[in-house]
Copies of this chain bind each other. A is one copy, B any other.
């Protein structure tokens, strides 16, 4: 690892909302930024937001955002002295951190050794085993053992179990297995997905806990040796192991449990010589016992809910730590305030098997007002493609109480318009109304048993709305032709005259 030093120019090796997020933090610290982009992202917000931008290659990640060589070359070309990897892509590849450091540049993240220990879930279990952190029963899996060997390992762990990518995260390379017959196919598919997503097909088995809650603890560790926890995030609202809604504090975590989990998280971080921001994930069972799941050695998608409660900018802290500075707030984190919830707005048809939705965004309308934070990368005319993950916007609501935060998030979702694609907003709204969510008594299966979309009502509004929309379509002669160019007043006038004046 190179010695800490001042960062003057930061290359952000990512795209989407997290690239925008990192650029924001850098600019607030007076650090110049360099964006990198694939051909699909030429006009993306992170390209426009950064001071400079360098093309990496064609749209597929393997030819752009996963190209370590091109990213290091872009750092050389622009004179960037540090790189922030965001999440996903190269963020947990120790080889990337090493390549950056070999070029004499700063990697904004943990030491490569800590990434290696924690990035692989198997070695992570080994790393924390000695530190008293409780572990879920599990077993490694040798590819060469073949189906028979896999089955033997599976029997040892017990059913139901999970096949998981060792290098994984975000639900990719993950399969739940209920019975022995499913083991071979699940292992093959998980390994194949893991190769595609992470370039590493190693998978392992882990006991599947019943009614588990997914609760994670945010840690910060600086170069001076301080290791601090900033409370927990409840991440049990998941579909296909992708988090959809996260909240802090967790409704299930008592002050005693929090203290124990924070201590375990700090112990795990110390066990691997951690530095920077990191997240220790736990499963909490129905009896409030917790088990170490993995450590994410990067900034997490859902980090804003911690930031809102603590008034701490975690990305700025990462940048401080990478420069050898101590944490901004001294020896103790600020007192957390209120309750925060994040919803991930994704381009997908949640009511039809969570199918991804693609298209061109129209005039997006994002919410605002008190206690609403928007982290997105959307803009009018943006093409939503299949190349990257389908997260468009993270909405965070912060309020004095959990009930107020839920009400605030609801109203913000009602304000949001992302025309041109189908989003999971209807599902999120129904989840916020789900009695299990409202009571706080839910586990990671909540979305599997989600209420279906409401049945058609006898409300006349849809009937009239459909007729008016068709009327407009079939009677174009009754309206003036849409003017060329941007004569929008005329277009608006058409809307008025065609559809009638005030009631």
Complex: chain B residue closest to A492, CB-CB = B381
Contacting residues of chain A (372-418) with chain B, CB-CB under 8 angstroms = 372-376, 379-381, 383, 399-400, 404, 407-408, 410-411, 414-415
Given known contacts A49-B415, A381-B488, is B42 in contact with A369 (CB within 8 Å)? no
Using an 8 Å CB-CB cutoff, how does the interface string of A303-334 with B read, 1 for contact, 0 for none? Answer: 01001100111010000000000001100001
Give Cα A246–Cα B342 distance, bound, in whole angstroms.
Answer: 29
- The reply on A338 being an interface residue by CB < 8 A is yes
- Find A27's partner among B338, B400, B411 (CB 8 Å cutoff): B411
Nearest-neighbour CB distance to chain B for A98, whole angstroms, equals: 28
Give Cα A306–Cα B55 distance, bound, in whole angstroms.
Answer: 43
Give Cα A21–Cα B372 distance, bound, in whole angstroms.
Answer: 12
> Contact: B502 with A369, CB < 8 Å?
no
What are the residues of chain B within 8 A of A400 when measuring CB–CB?
311-312, 328-329, 334
* Interface residues of A, count at CB 8 A: 64
What are the residues of chain B within 8 A of A362 when measuring CB–CB?
486
- Find A381's partner among B42, B360, B363, B372 (CB 8 Å cutoff): B363
> Contact: A39 with B502, CB < 8 Å?
yes
- Find A28's partner among B312, B368, B381, B404 (CB 8 Å cutoff): B404
Give Cα A350–Cα B492 distance, bound, in whole angstroms.
Answer: 29
What are the residues of chain B within 8 A of A414 when measuring CB–CB?
27, 49
Given known contacts A24-B411, A28-B411, is B363 in contact with A369 (CB within 8 Å)? no
Complex: chain B residue closest to A379, CB-CB = B365
Complex: chain B residue closest to A415, CB-CB = B49
Given known contacts A313-B370, A360-B488, A370-B313, is B383 in contact with A380 (CB within 8 Å)? no
- The reply on A29 being an interface residue by CB < 8 A is yes
- Find A24's partner among B312, B369, B376, B404 (CB 8 Å cutoff): B369
Give Cα A45–Cα B408 distance, bound, in whole angstroms.
Answer: 18
Contacting residues of chain A (454-502) with chain B, CB-CB under 8 angstroms = 482, 484, 486, 488-489, 491-492, 495-496, 502
Nearest-neighbour CB distance to chain B for A492, whole angstroms, equals: 7
- The reply on A337 being an interface residue by CB < 8 A is yes
- The reply on A503 being an interface residue by CB < 8 A is yes
What are the residues of chain B within 8 A of A360 when measuring CB–CB?
486, 488-489
Using an 8 Å CB-CB cutoff, how does the interface string of A217-260 with B read, 1 for contact, 0 for none? Answer: 00000000000000000000000000000000000000000000
Contacting residues of chain A (24-49) with chain B, CB-CB under 8 angstroms = 24-25, 27-30, 39, 42-43, 45, 49
What are the residues of chain B within 8 A of A503 when measuring CB–CB?
55
Give Cα A404–Cα B371 distance, bound, in whole angstroms.
Answer: 19
Nearest-neighbour CB distance to chain B for A478, whole angstroms, equals: 18
Give Cα A415–Cα B338 distance, bound, in whole angstroms.
Answer: 28
What are the residues of chain B within 8 A of A363 when measuring CB–CB?
363, 379-381
> Contact: A369 with B365, CB < 8 Å?
no
> Contact: A370 with B492, CB < 8 Å?
no
- Find A370's partner among B42, B49, B373, B488 (CB 8 Å cutoff): B373
Give Cα A312–Cα B400 distance, bound, in whole angstroms.
Answer: 8
Give Cα A489–Cα B360 distance, bound, in whole angstroms.
Answer: 8
Complex: chain B residue closest to A376, CB-CB = B368
> Contact: B407 with A21, CB < 8 Å?
no
> Contact: B366 with A407, CB < 8 Å?
no
Give Cα A407–Cα B24 distance, bound, in whole angstroms.
Answer: 10
Using an 8 Å CB-CB cutoff, how does the interface string of A2-30 with B read, 1 for contact, 0 for none? Answer: 00000000000000000011001101111
> Contact: A371 with B489, CB < 8 Å?
no
Nearest-neighbour CB distance to chain B for A10, whole angstroms, equals: 14
> Contact: B492 with A43, CB < 8 Å?
yes
Nearest-neighbour CB distance to chain B for A287, whole angstroms, equals: 34
> Contact: A24 with B383, CB < 8 Å?
no
Give Cα A491–Cα B407 distance, bound, in whole angstroms.
Answer: 40
Known interface pairs A28-B407, A49-B415, A374-B374; 5 further A-B residue pairs with C-beta atoms within 8 A, sorted by A's residue number: A24-B370, A334-B337, A370-B373, A381-B488, A482-B484
